[in-house]
A and B are shown apart, each in its own frame.
Chain A
């Protein structure tokens, strides 16, 4: 058996883990106070945040996508939050920023766009043209943006929450495959139960919970949480299982474009982060199964024949999971 990570240079001490777990719990409770009735999804979304990834929320209007992004931003004290409402006439410069000629200084000065923030809500991302959508590519993948040949680095934390509506297609541009691959996870909130909906409207009788929301942890604490998640232990056996699940999409006849190694990496990172939220300093196969659909499915391009038969990436991944021997 491998003994490779638990005593490595960055190994998480018992005390360090307890501290990180408490911070994670505080963050989860804080967001949960605003976004009611979506406990498991909120935990996965926060796992995505702590893993250093980006999130694509696809759901019907009014289900709480924007509120979730705002709640996360409001729960992290000192974190900058920007929102871009994507429209067909939005330009890349509206996202990245633009160099403006400064007459006083006699030189061009870069005016950073909304992408230079800690938490970015890209609302209705599929309403913008592919050109504008692609402007996010570099930022999401590498945490930097190149404008007019100059490289601008993001500052530590950069979490993109993009939303799109699954039922409105008129005037939209489906996200290109490369863009989809940049999103660590795609998930949906769905409608809540009646009792939870009553609780939601009750909490907003006078004002919105976000109006009186207090941060649960600081930006630095969140960055510490991100670092702690990287130290969650994972065995070789689980890593092989992750690779098996991802690579199974490559042998599937119903899939035209399968998941890339980036998916394997994302699955490992998010499973580490989610384990932290679950109070474990190691990863178990259950966590992989829990995340596999959200992490892999949106990266797949399904064959038209299968798609017309109602097969989706999510169903395909679920079936693959049933057939791959899970470590036990």
Chain B
């Protein structure tokens, strides 16, 4: 059976999905990037390989997306390297062909995608900082002594969410401490945080966008029922969360790899090959471009980062 592998490497988490020709998910995994995308992908591939054991699947094409898409694309000999906005849109429209609006909140970024007749017609991404994203929520959960998994359930028990300023992480933290000190209940603060994340999202990313049903909410934070509820209150419509919502980027890029028709040899053995990256500052002009070189078993296979030809690194020696 032919299989298509999609990998989504974000700053916080790494996701992998293997699909067949009918877009059925054959294997999937979600794990932490831990600041080392190469290692995370190696761990990911080991898990996926195990899940596929005895299924006779031959991976014919790989797609990568997420912030480390280029690096991992070079490492896995990918056919498709796509940005996460398109990957998410394709993934979602494959599973929910009638979707009109996609809310996405991930580890460090959040986006909105507007879809009309299956096409992306508009989108926006957060520009300011990590406030209101997954990493923000988990650090606040930690501060309150609550595990991030329980966060949503606790939020649902609140009757009067506390108002919290969440535009900026630093301010939100001081506001949170302040609100806790003057005696707000924990569940109210947690619900307030969920609400603040949503208000922040609607005000920044959703500004001027036509939000229409059906709405799908995905990304890591979509697992948080408190945030889902806050979204429903804010837009006054039902918000769908797909059980595979956290995998949508990887799924989307696997679909794209399949659609591309480009087949390149792939073997799970790359998990055992030594990959190295080196970064150096190009000294040739004052731009000081940060140039990244990727080595496979000490052979340079790719490089990028140069703004001009002076910084180009020759490949193949």
To the question of whether A and B form a pair in one complex, the answer is no
A residues sitting closer than 8 Å to B (CB atoms) are: none
B residues sitting closer than 8 Å to A (CB atoms) are: none
